[in-house]
Amino acid sequence: MIRLERRLDQPKWLSVAVPVGSLIAAFAIMAVILAVTGHAPGHTYRQMLEAGFTGNGAFSATLLSATPILFTGLAAAAAFRMQLFNIGAEGQLYLGAVGASWIALKLGDGDAGSTPLYVLAMCVAAGVMGALWALIPGVLRAFANTNEIITSLMLNYVAGFLITYLIFDSSSYWRDVSTLQAQSFPQGKPMPAGAEWPTFGSSVVVPLGFLIGLGVAASLWMLYSRTRFGFEVSVIADSPRAARYAGMRTRRKILAVMAISGGIAGIGGASQIGDFTHTLDPTGLQGAAFGYTGIVVAALARYNPFAVCLVAVLLGGLQNAGFTLQGPDFPSGLVGVMQGIILFCALGGELLIRYRVTISRRARARADTGSAAEPAR
C-alpha cells in the first residue's frame, strides 16, 4: 500500500533533484510520443541538442530566444509568489513593445554614443506601459475582487488586437507608410540606429536584454527575500487572514506586485524591439507566445528568480531548436507538447517535495496501526 506522509521539513537537495528528475521523465515520455508517431526520438533529440546548444552559433541564438521568456518567466514568478496568477504577461509584453518603440521613434536618429539613453528610455517606457496594463486586472482584483486569471488573460487578446490595429488597420505613429511597398504590405517603422541594443562576446553572443534580465532577477530576489515588502508578500501568499490580522495592506500589495510583474513583462517587450526585431511586429510577437512560455518557466523554476534564469535558457534552447528545425522532419507543436509534459512532470514531482512516499505491505500497515492503538485503551 502506498502512503503519503507530509514532510515536516523539505530537504534542500530535493528541490534540485526533483526538477531535474522531472525533466528526464518528460524527455522519456516525449520519446514515447515521438516513437509512436513515427519519429526516431534519438535522432530528434540529437538534432534538438545541436540546434539548441552545441551547434555553431546555436547557443547565441538560444540566449536570444531565452531573453523574452526570461522576462515573462520573472513576471510570472513575481506574481505567482503572492498566489496572484497574472497570466497576462503576453499582453503586457506587447504593450511594453508598443511603449519602447514609441519612445525610440520619438527620440529619432541620435548619434551612436547615446545608445545607453535609448536603452534606459525604452526600458522605462516599456516598464510603465506593461505595469499600467497589468494594473487593470490588479485594480479589479484589489477593489472588485475579480478573478485576475481570467481578466489578465482576456486582456492578452485585447492587446493582440491593439498591436494588430496599430500596424495593419490604421496609419498610426508606429506604421511605416514611407514607401509604396510598405503601404501595401503593412509593417512597423524601423527603429533609429541608436535604439539597436548592443551585444557582448564574440564566440557566444549575449544580448543586452539577457543581461538586463539577469539584473532584474537579482533585484527580484533581493526584493522578495531581503526586504520587509517581500516578507509581507510571502505572508499574504501563505495566509491572507494572518496578514490581515497583522495589519498588512493586502490591496496595496496586490497593486504593487501586479505592477512589478507587468513592468518586468513590459521590459521584455522593450528587449524584443531593441535586441531582436527593431520594429513593432505584431505577427511575430503574437506567434511566439512568450507570455505562456513564461508561465512554464516560472512554474518549473518553482518561482525562484535565479532558477528562472536557468530554466529560461533551457526552454529558450528548446524554442530555438523548434524554430530552426521546423519542417517535415520536426513536427510543429512539438515544442508546446514538450513544455506541457515538462510542466506536468514538474507538478507531479512537486508531490515528492512535499510528501514522503512510503510503500508498505497492507498487512504490516494494519499491524502498525493496531499496535499503536493498543496502549491508548
Partner 1 sequence: MSVNDSLVVVVLAQAVLYGTPLLYAALGELLAERSGVLNLGVEGMMLFGAAVGYWVTQSVHGADAPVLVLALVGAALSGAAMAAIHAFLTITLRASQIVSGLALTIFAGGLGLSAYFGAELDLASLPVTHQFASLDVLGLADLPVLGPILFDQSALVYASWVLTLLVAVYLGRTRWGLNVRAVGEAPASADAMGINVTRYRYIHVLVGGALAGIGGACFSLSIIPNWFAGDSLVNGAGWIAIALVIFAFWRPGICLVGAYLFGGLSALPSALQAHGVTIPPEFLYSLPYVMTIVVLVVVSTSLAKRRLGAPAALGIPYVREER
Q: Three cell numbers at 146?
A: 475579480
Per-residue contact track with partner 1, 29 to 58, x per CB under 8 A? --------x---------------------
Nearest to 318 by CA among 70, 45, 75: 45
Q: Which stretch binds partner 1 (CB under 8 A): 151-159, 174-182, 212-220, 229-237?
A: 151-159
For residues 111 and 300, what is the distance between their CA atoms, to the nearest angstrom?
A: 43
Residue of 83, 91, 170 lying closest to 130 (CA atoms): 91
Q: How far apart are CA 230 and CA 226, in angstroms?
A: 7
Amino acid sitting at position 342? I
**Coil, helix or strand at residue 308:** helix
**Residue the block writes with cell 562576446:** 201
Three-state secondary-structure class, residue 228: helix
Q: Minimum distance between the CB of residue 326 and partner 1, rounded to whole angstroms? A: 10
Instruction: Report d(CA 133, CA 155) in Å as an integer.
Output: 8
Write down the least CB distance from residue 197 to partner 1, Å: 27
The answer to whether 105 and 278 have CB atoms below 8 angstroms apart is no
| 162 binding partner 1? (CB under 8 A) | yes
- The residue from 165, 173, 231, 306 that contacts partner 1 (CB under 8 A) is 165
The nearest distance, CB 74 to partner 1, in angstroms, is 17
- Choice between 113 and 333, CB closer to partner 1: 333
Find the binding residues for partner 1 in span 324-353 (CB under 8 A): 331-337, 339-341, 343-344, 347-348, 350-351
Among 151, 199, 279, 304, binds partner 1 (CB under 8 A): 151
Among 299, 308, 312, 314, binds partner 1 (CB under 8 A): 299
| Closest approach of partner 1 to the CB of residue 347, in Å | 4
Shortest separation between residue 107's beta carbon and partner 1, angstroms: 28
User: Which position has the grid cell 514531482?
Assistant: 349
Rg, the chain, Cα only: 23
d(CA 233, CA 162): 33
Of the two residues 145 and 203, which places its CB atom closer to partner 1 in the complex?
145
Contact 88, 259 (CB under 8 A): no
Residue type, 233: V
**Of residues 155, 233, 270, 312, which one binds partner 1 by CB under 8 A?**
155
Which three-class secondary structure state does DSSP give residue 186?
A: coil
Q: Could you tell me how many residues of this chain bind partner 1 (CB under 8 A)?
A: 48
Closest separation in Å from C-beta 69 to partner 1: 13
Query: Helices 41-49 and 305-325: crossing angle, nearest 10°?
Result: 110
Region near partner 1 per CB under 8 A, out of 46-54, 159-167, 251-259, 367-375: 159-167
Look up cell 539584473; give the residue. Answer: 215
Task: Name the minimum Å distance from CB 148 to partner 1.
Answer: 10
Q: Does 247 bind partner 1 (CB under 8 A)?
A: no
- Count each helix (H run) and each strand (E run) in the chain, helices first: 16, 4
Residues 66-105 that bind partner 1 (CB under 8 A): 85, 87
Query: Rule CB under 8 A: which of 217-236 touch partner 1?
Result: none
Per CB under 8 A, the list member of 25, 49, 107, 140 interacting with partner 1 is 140
Q: Which three cell numbers stand for residue 256?
A: 504593487
Q: For binding to partner 1 (CB under 8 A), which residues are involved? A: 6, 37, 85, 87, 136, 140, 144-147, 149-151, 153-155, 157-158, 161-162, 164-165, 169-170, 289, 292-293, 295-296, 299, 331-337, 339-341, 343-344, 347-348, 350-351, 354-355
